[in-house]
Amino acid sequence: MFVIFVIVFYKPLNRLIGGIKQIDGKNKSISFNQPVKKEDGNDDIMMELDSTFSISFLNETKDAIFKEYQLGKKPLQEQIDFLSKACAALAIANNFNSTYVYCIGSHIRLLQALNSSDGVSLQEIKDFYHEVEKQYPELQQQYSFESFLALLLNHNLIATQEDKYHITVGGQNFLTYLIKEALPMDKDY
């Protein structure tokens, strides 16, 4: 149920939480900087949700979430904290899912190797890439070395420090996510 909640409500909740100006726990009220609108400024969040999902489905899901996590019994700040963490979890899961789609097996194997090392040089990564390329000549057609490395850097799975490449906390969490979600790590290449 939580996963459904996060998937359905991530974008609207992200905009809603970002627009909060002040939370008054005593009076149980929230004031906003400006009306919460879609990015294009034409419709509010509910119109966007209503156009994607039926109102009855939205209300049923919302009620199930509030019941399952007993949100109605919690103070407003705890509700906001819960929903903020849910939005963050959705953002991370969404990012990891899209990263996984573009990753090839050698990306994952390199992350695993970096996870158990103190970092490697650019030359060591090039050597790794060329070894994979020997096994799979078609790798070069899909990923040049530069694009192979860029995927890991751009998705913040690895970073450089003192001329060495290291796995990031995001990269470690990505590997954990793959295991928890039972996603195959033995992809092609």
- pLDDT 10s digits, 66-95: 888 888 888 888 888 888 898 889 889 989
Q: Both 12 and 57 in a single domain?
A: yes
**pTM flag (> 0.75):** no
Task: Give 160 or 86, the one with higher predicted confidence.
Answer: 160
Count structural domains, the chain: 2
Domain range for 30 is 2-100
pLDDT band at residue 26 using 50, 70 and 90 as cut-offs? low
Of 1-5, 112-116, 148-152, 183-187, least confident by mean pLDDT is 1-5
Q: Both 94 and 16 in a single domain?
A: yes
Q: Both 76 and 109 in a single domain?
A: no
Residue 179 pLDDT more than 80?
A: yes
pLDDT given for residue 156 in this prediction:
96
Q: Both 83 and 114 in a single domain?
A: no
C-alpha torsion sign, points 123, 129, 134, 135: positive
Task: Give 118 or 33, the one with higher predicted confidence.
Answer: 118
pLDDT given for residue 37 in this prediction:
45
Residue 118 pLDDT more than 70?
A: yes
Q: How far apart are CA 54 and CA 66, in angstroms?
A: 18
Residue 176 pLDDT more than 90?
A: yes
Q: Both 23 and 73 in a single domain?
A: yes
Task: Render the burial of 10-38: b for 16+ CB within 10 Å, e for the rest.
Answer: bbbbbbbeebeeeeeeeeeebeeeeebee
The mean predicted confidence, pLDDT, of the chain is 81
What are the φ and ψ backbone dihedral angles of 188, each rounded to 5 degrees?
A: -60, 155
